[in-house]
Structure 1
Amino acid sequence: MKFKYLFATLCFALFTVSCSTDDNNDTPITNDVEGLLKVQDIVNSTHTIELFNTIGNFKTGYNNVIIRIKDNTTNNYIKNATLSWIPMMQMPSMQHSCPKSEITKTEGKETIYEGFVIYQMTNLDGYGWSLTVNYAIDGSDYTASDDVVVLQSEKHNTISFKGSDDNQYIIALIAPNDPKIAINNLKLGLFKMENMMTFPVVEDYTIALDPRMPSMGNHSSPNNTDLSYNNEDQMYYGDLSLTMTGYWVLNLKLINTLNEVIKGEDVTETYEKSSLYLELEF
């Protein structure tokens, strides 16, 4: 009887250890693009480049883009690739690109990569832009390209302009995405057009901020701070105080490293808006 009891106990223990070991080897199935919406696919003979973001389309201004690469034969997603891209706007007499980031692997995700593109303009029908993705997998180079639709944003969230220094600049609103009645973290991107294809980040300037509410006597708000350059992500940050819901104009002045104003003006009783401004409404 003792032997039978010992044998049963041993079998139960072995079964328990076996089950526990199997459970530890199970890898949870995760969806790397959960909560995102697909914008479109760009397909070549070997792969499908899947493009995602949070709204399901591209618009003028700042666009954060999530990318997956699917093998057309196996339907598996590529975990290790090196990518770059070229957004291109075709105009009647010329073509040009726009500010963009490098594409990097998303931290903590196995199959997705990300970067941003800032479309500074679009056609009325949304067409005119194309996107080429160049990528390398296991030492082999590939490319995929297609037209993309870029819709016009409802608000003035990016501006392209010439400064008093004769340089062409682009400013884009990046955050807040969900403005609140509070002091919001304001994040802007500032870029200079060196040529039709190159738009480097502008470092160490200052962007002066004066938010106004035109429908309410053009009043401002307290506790705003001008934007300064952040070396880590190469963006500009400041405090934006929003005291009520509605339509706001973010009046700006761009100031270079010599403390010279190269675009924008102070808002006064007779001059209600700077020539350099962005918009938001919430």
Structure 2
Amino acid sequence: MKSIQFLSVALVLLFTFASCSDSSDDPIVIDENPLSEYTLLTKMTSNNHTIEVYSEGEQFTIGYNELFLRIKDEASGSYFSNADVSWKPMMHMTEMMHSCPASNIEKTDNASVYKGFTVFQMPGNADEYWELEMEYTVDGQTYNATERIEVKAPADDKKRVSVFMGTDDTRYILAMMPLEPEVAVNDFSAMLFKMDNMMSFPAVENYKIKIDPRMPGMGNHSSPNNEDLAFNPTNQGYDGKLSLTMTGYWKINLMLENENGEVLKGEEVTEDNESSSLFFEIEF
């Protein structure tokens, strides 16, 4: 008798669960791609593998690009979680080739995702173009892949990277880090590199970047509570504060000083000099 009662209760619970399940119109969707909210910029297919390159942005752009990678083994359909990965972006010009600043590629908290950054100095065109050269090692086997990529100017055409010769006869690349500007005192960062040769762009340490934000369309007024950018050894970049008192177009005038306080590039903004030759631009 107890067995029959137990069976009856079990059947009631089973039918109740089935009825509740059938009444739901929202299927459970499991997203297996940890980068599904990012933009897939390109796929590189080689060695029966596919390298997927993602970004928060919509395109490869001149200036700073944070990129995320996954490497898929097409034979098994799985992604490598134990690869050692390196890269070299290469610009093919009509008479020469050169690379650009690029970080090491690191593993992330997700075992199948790797990340790094590049700083493209210039866009490509029909005759001059960028290639992304990849090298990766899995279980002792090294592979290579190369893909042509399209690097464009920012959609808003604002200046976020500057390539220049300093007064010390050294060529520098100064790139603004991504910023979502607000009418507030914003955290503001940049990265500085020097060009040792056409393939080597080491980060520059212990310099200073003075900032003077101005609104050219509003009498060239500035703003209070700005902080110049100082070197941060933790991220190898330069951090400071940018005060924006209203929306609109801002020119962020810059002056680069070395560790001895000598000005390598840029000028002070005065009544007779409305802007520096070294600057970034934002509009919001």
The TM-score with structure 1 as length reference comes to 0.88
Please give the alpha-carbon distance, in whole angstroms, between the structure 2 residues aligned to 1:185 and 1:227.
Answer: 10
**Equivalent position of 2:140 in the other structure:** 139
Deviation, 1:54, is 1.4
Matching residue's letter, 1:133: M
> Quick one: percent identity of the two aligned structures?
45
**Equivalent position of 2:124 in the other structure:** 123
- Taking a change above 3 Å as real, the CA distance of residues 126 and 73 of structure 1, as seen in their structure-2 partners, is farther
Deviation, 1:34, is 2.5
Please give the alpha-carbon distance, in whole angstroms, between the structure 2 residues aligned to 1:44 and 1:127.
Answer: 24
**Equivalent position of 2:115 in the other structure:** 114
Does structure 2 retain, via aligned residues, the 8 Å contact 1:124–1:152?
Answer: no
Please give the alpha-carbon distance, in whole angstroms, between the structure 1 residues aligned to 2:39 and 2:31.
Answer: 19
Q: Which runs of 5+ in 1 are unaligned?
A: 13-27
**Equivalent position of 1:201 in the other structure:** 203
Deviation, 1:46, is 1.9
Please give the alpha-carbon distance, in whole angstroms, between the structure 2 residues aligned to 1:247 and 1:145.
Answer: 39
Q: Indicate whether 1:170 and 2:173 are aligned.
A: yes
Does structure 1 retain, via aligned residues, the 8 Å contact 2:64–2:178?
Answer: no
Q: Indicate whether 1:270 and 2:277 are aligned.
A: no
Please give the alpha-carbon distance, in whole angstroms, between the structure 2 residues aligned to 1:131 and 1:31.
Answer: 23
**Equivalent position of 2:153 in the other structure:** 152
Does structure 1 retain, via aligned residues, the 8 Å contact 2:47–2:143?
Answer: no
1:8-27 aligned at under 5 Å gives the runs: none
Q: Indicate whether 1:257 and 2:259 are aligned.
A: yes
Q: Indicate whether 1:224 and 2:203 are aligned.
A: no
Does structure 2 retain, via aligned residues, the 8 Å contact 1:174–1:187?
Answer: yes
Q: Indicate whether 1:44 and 2:46 are aligned.
A: yes
Does structure 1 retain, via aligned residues, the 8 Å contact 2:213–2:222?
Answer: yes
Please give the alpha-carbon distance, in whole angstroms, between the structure 2 residues aligned to 1:174 and 1:197.
Answer: 22
**Equivalent position of 2:182 in the other structure:** 180
- Taking a change above 3 Å as real, the CA distance of residues 126 and 55 of structure 1, as seen in their structure-2 partners, is farther
Deviation, 1:122, is 1.7
Matching residue's letter, 1:166: D
Matching residue's letter, 1:271: N
- Taking a change above 3 Å as real, the CA distance of residues 4 and 43 of structure 1, as seen in their structure-2 partners, is closer
Please give the alpha-carbon distance, in whole angstroms, between the structure 1 residues aligned to 2:126 and 2:61.
Answer: 12
Q: State the aligned residue count.
A: 264
**Equivalent position of 1:21 in the other structure:** none
Deviation, 1:175, is 3.1
**Equivalent position of 2:24 in the other structure:** none
Deviation, 1:66, is 0.7
Question: Which SS does the other structure have where 1:175 is aligned?
Answer: coil
Q: Which runs of 5+ in 2 are unaligned?
A: 11-29
**Equivalent position of 2:86 in the other structure:** 84
Matching residue's letter, 2:174: I
Please give the alpha-carbon distance, in whole angstroms, between the structure 2 residues aligned to 1:8 and 1:207.
Answer: 77
Deviation, 1:110, is 2.3
Matching residue's letter, 1:68: R
Matching residue's letter, 1:255: E
**Equivalent position of 1:101 in the other structure:** 103
Please give the alpha-carbon distance, in whole angstroms, between the structure 2 residues aligned to 1:145 and 1:123.
Answer: 16
Does structure 2 retain, via aligned residues, the 8 Å contact 1:83–1:103?
Answer: yes
Please give the alpha-carbon distance, in whole angstroms, between the structure 1 residues aligned to 2:100 and 2:208.
Answer: 22
Matching residue's letter, 1:274: S
Question: Which SS does the other structure have where 2:146 is aligned?
Answer: strand
Deviation, 1:124, is 4.3
The TM-score with structure 2 as length reference comes to 0.88
Question: Which SS does the other structure have where 1:190 is aligned?
Answer: strand
CA RMSD, Structure 1 to Structure 2 (Å): 2.1
Please give the alpha-carbon distance, in whole angstroms, between the structure 2 residues aligned to 1:36 and 1:236.
Answer: 26
Please give the alpha-carbon distance, in whole angstroms, between the structure 1 residues aligned to 2:158 and 2:68.
Answer: 23
Please give the alpha-carbon distance, in whole angstroms, between the structure 2 residues aligned to 1:266 and 1:75.
Answer: 57
